Structure 1
Amino acid sequence: MRDRISAVSLAVLAVGLPAAARAEGPPSEIRIGQTMPYSGPASAYGVIGRVEAAYIDMINDKGGINGRKVKFISLDDAYSPPKTVEQTRRLVEQDEVMAVFGTVGTPTNLAVHKYLNNKKVPQLFVSTGATIWTEFKKYPWTIGWLPDYESEAKIYAKYVLKERPNGKIAILYQNDDSGRDYLRGFKAGLGADNAKRMIVAEASYQVSDATVDSQILTLQASGADVLFTHATPKFGAQAIRKVYEIGWKPLQLISTNSNTIAGTLAPAGLEKAQGLISAFILKDPSDSRWHNQPDYQAYLALLKKYAPTVDDKDSWAAYGYIAAQGLVKVLEQCGDDLSRENIMKQARNMDFTPGMLLPGIKAHTSPDNGYPPIKSMQLSRFEGTNWKPTGEVISGD
């Protein structure tokens, strides 16, 4: 059984055919494009694109959407903004996609943000929670999918205020817009006076850095007993491992960017991740308590048939499954009107519950605001080999 990344993406993952060699698709074809870090420093996220392509393969095998097949073109941008620009221009100007969907990363999406809005091409359900995606009046052709990073960070800050009201906090963050969103949200969640009193150290890193070991040593030296980390999986794993190796035992909170067991915690060593706190929107596919439920069974069946080399325990695989359902829902709602204007209209008129979302969380949008479909989260603690929910579902508002 082969891993069907999609009928198109296998051929064009990194390099596509020249324009002259491309046969135009029939009028019934729905062209959707994306860029994804299949290589580079954030390649752990590549599983998202593989599962999204697998889901589209399944939909096509069932007859497509409203009688139309979806041509899903997923290109490698290596998490490099210049490459994202190059590949996105190709998708729009050569492949003539109707929308760009699910591109991963704040710096990569920012690199094509104005271009897609100027071209009036839907930038649909970007895989990043940067606050800028909520500015729908300024950028009407862009919509997020995840709770924004500032709101997520406020949830962590309020947890710290409850659990360690006299704590000394150190913060590690990626030096880009996403990291600054987390930093700003965490401070806002603490409140100005508490932030000034409790935060004793901050350190940032560049995606091009080899490790974050020196930053962890600097943060430990501050005397902090709380560590909040915003990082991609590679650097998140490094941070967890280094904290353990130097014998530092702070209360650790990590952002959603790096809470995957397969992509972050396992590479770090599960024994080193005990007690971590993070926020979730989806069911942990490695948690056996979900395994008898119909939505997990559907998810597992998809991977077994269409993406058998993907680790079904990887939470980023489950994220790709959820996001793909959002794309299909929008296209189904479009009916016969597949104009770019109607695609955006339908993206801002959603109300459904994708399979594998946690109970109490759904995807909902309305035309009068720019908030992403998913707005709520639930905190969990890592214990043993799984994340264990703690507390109630919390709105990101």
Structure 2
Amino acid sequence: MLRIARRGIVVAACLALVAASSACSDEAPSSSGGGTAASVPGVTDTEIVLGTHMPLTGPAAAGYSKISPATKAYFEYVNANGGVHGRKIKYLVEDDGYNPANTQTLVRKLVLEDKVFAILNGLGTPTHTGVLDFLKTQEVPDLFVASGSRSWNQPEKYPTTFGFQPDYTVEGKIIADFVKKTYPGQVVCHMGQDDDFGRDSLAGVEQVLGADGVKEKQKYVTSNTNITPQIQAFKAAGCQVVISATIPAFTALSLGTAAKLGGFKPQWVPSSVGADYTTLSGLLGEGKVLLEGLVAPGYLPVSTDASNPWVQLYQKVNKEYNGDAPFDNNIMFGMTVGYLTVQALLKAGKDLTREGLISAVESGGFKNAAVGPYRYSASDHSGIGGMQMGRVTGGVQAAFGPVVQTDDGAGPVQEYTEAPATPTSNGIPAV
């Protein structure tokens, strides 16, 4: 995937989620997933309609609001070059504000009213969890969820849902393995979002360090920007390394709050979810000096690596189709999702059906900008299984060390040695 500002900026970036509720029933599927193009929802002879829910506003908007425009820009690039088997991709983006109640309403609209072919890259653990059963009932492909929750990897329970980024337990294991080797004997603590994001991350960390290897464990909720008690607890416990499962606003808030307490300067190792330097420096403003030395894993090339062919491709697309938006890891994320989606649609064939798309993803074998392997199969819907550590030095975030891979079970963290893939000459996947 996939980073306090001056005090006022952070508070603005962390606006509380609006409390709401939505009672929903599960209608029968609007149509069979099979059939001719004319009878497949969201598919015509000239068009494929996809939809998503994204936090374009609200507490998770910082950074993440750039993802869907980047995906859409890549689709427009593909459309301008002939589309997918002659069809152009139309991408409908709904703003849920990172509010689960909004997500349910908007996803139902996309499926029942807009008749999308698939839901793509819906963002957020608390938000997307609430639509899993509905999408299953409707037999809608639920592709490449923008969250590392292990909930997406339940092919028997949710056969149409697939993850994208490394799940949070895989990431937790990779971070903990790095911390164990790099900071031996130091006091390690954990800060986690109070949902599957934080819980799965901690589970991975404890698989490597043991429950006793994490001295202090704290949680936060996105509706409360006062995390001073949590940071004070870390300081009192003598934490030397803090691993955090935090969205960008709360990564920035954690660093800024620690700095205000004085005398507390642990090594911060956030999840890739909240570690993009461009996003964090924007939140921190003049306080971006606090990011120096920040260490975090990543599963895509770092956006500042101008020598990387994927960065070069995405910068070109970004300039031509995304208004030349400030280029960062969120744009890398969005365009990689777009590239992977086109790969899957091409693999599904010209006679496009929902079942055919699911089978195409399960067949696996995808290679693109991801530094580690995709794990897709009929029995594994989890997504990318490898990561590489990165560090901020002199205001530049750069990767270092080997790419490593693991699973969300008892498997070891080990080096991934396969050579990285490169994009095709025209930047569009081959069939």
TM over 0.5, shorter chain: yes
Q: Is 1:250 equivalent to 2:266 in the alignment? A: yes
Q: 1: distance between equivalents of 2:235 and 2:313?
A: 44
User: Amino acid of the residue matched to residue 280 of structure 1?
Assistant: G
Q: Is 1:67 equivalent to 2:83 in the alignment? A: no
SS in 1 for 2:189: strand
Q: Which moved more, 1:160-169 or 1:52-61?
A: 160-169
For residue 297 of structure 1, the aligned residue among 309, 312, 321 is 312
Label 1:299 to 1:309 Cα distance change in 2 as closer, same or farther (>3 A): closer
**Number of aligned residues:** 362
Q: 1: distance between equivalents of 2:258 and 2:323?
A: 35
Q: TM-score, normalised by structure 2?
A: 0.80
User: Amino acid of the residue matched to residue 387 of structure 2?
Assistant: M
Alignment of 1:189-204 (within 5 A): 189-191=208-210, 195-196=211-212, 198-204=213-219
SS in 1 for 2:116: coil
Q: Is the 8 A contact 2:228 2:257 kept in 1?
A: yes
Report what 2:378 is aligned to. 367
SS in 2 for 1:392: strand
Q: Shift of the alpha carbon at 1:149?
A: 0.4
Q: 1: distance between equivalents of 2:43 and 2:341?
A: 20
User: Amino acid of the residue matched to residue 35 of structure 1?
Assistant: H
Report what 1:384 is aligned to. 394
Report what 1:340 is aligned to. 354
For residue 41 of structure 1, the aligned residue among 34, 59, 70 is 59
Q: Shift of the alpha carbon at 1:383?
A: 1.3
Q: Percent identity between the aligned chains? A: 31
Alignment of 1:220-235 (within 5 A): 220-235=235-250
Label 1:297 to 1:388 Cα distance change in 2 as closer, same or farther (>3 A): closer
Q: Shift of the alpha carbon at 1:370?
A: 2.8
Q: 2: distance between equivalents of 1:321 and 1:77?
A: 21
Q: Shift of the alpha carbon at 1:266?
A: 4.2
Report what 2:336 is aligned to. 322
Q: Is the 8 A contact 2:119 2:141 kept in 1?
A: yes
Q: 1: distance between equivalents of 2:215 and 2:382?
A: 32
Label 1:185 to 1:25 Cα distance change in 2 as closer, same or farther (>3 A): closer
Q: 2: distance between equivalents of 1:52 and 1:396?
A: 28
Q: Is the 8 A contact 1:169 1:224 kept in 2?
A: yes
Q: Shift of the alpha carbon at 1:141?
A: 0.8
For residue 47 of structure 2, the aligned residue among 29, 38, 41 is 29
Q: 2: distance between equivalents of 1:266 and 1:189?
A: 33
Q: Is the 8 A contact 2:155 2:378 kept in 1?
A: no
For residue 86 of structure 1, the aligned residue among 92, 105, 114 is 105
Report what 1:16 is aligned to. none
Q: Is the 8 A contact 1:256 1:280 kept in 2?
A: yes
Report what 1:350 is aligned to. 364
Q: Shift of the alpha carbon at 1:200?
A: 2.2
Q: Shift of the alpha carbon at 1:243?
A: 2.2
CA RMSD in angstroms comes to 1.7
User: Amino acid of the residue matched to residue 219 of structure 1?
Assistant: F
Q: 2: distance between equivalents of 1:144 and 1:178?
A: 13
- Structure 1 gaps of 5+ residues are 1-23
Q: Is 1:271 equivalent to 2:289 in the alignment? A: yes
- Structure 2 gaps of 5+ residues are 1-41, 408-431
SS in 1 for 2:255: helix
SS in 1 for 2:402: coil
For residue 199 of structure 2, the aligned residue among 180, 193, 201 is 180
Q: Shift of the alpha carbon at 1:26?
A: 4.7
User: Amino acid of the residue matched to residue 240 of structure 2?
Assistant: D
Superposed CA deviations along residues 77-113 of structure 1, whole A, max 9, x for unmatched, are 1111111100000010001111100011111110101
User: Amino acid of the residue matched to residue 222 of structure 1?
Assistant: A
Q: Shift of the alpha carbon at 1:185?
A: 1.4
Label 1:163 to 1:293 Cα distance change in 2 as closer, same or farther (>3 A): closer
Q: Shift of the alpha carbon at 1:165?
A: 3.0
User: Amino acid of the residue matched to residue 235 of structure 1?
Assistant: F
Q: Shift of the alpha carbon at 1:329?
A: 0.7
Alignment of 1:114-129 (within 5 A): 114-129=133-148
Superposed CA deviations along residues 208-242 of structure 1, whole A, max 9, x for unmatched, are 11232332122212221121111111111111222
Q: Shift of the alpha carbon at 1:299?
A: 0.9
Q: Is the 8 A contact 2:180 2:209 kept in 1?
A: yes
SS in 2 for 1:115: helix
Label 1:364 to 1:162 Cα distance change in 2 as closer, same or farther (>3 A): closer
Q: Which moved more, 1:256-265 or 1:291-300?
A: 291-300
For residue 234 of structure 2, the aligned residue among 197, 211, 219 is 219
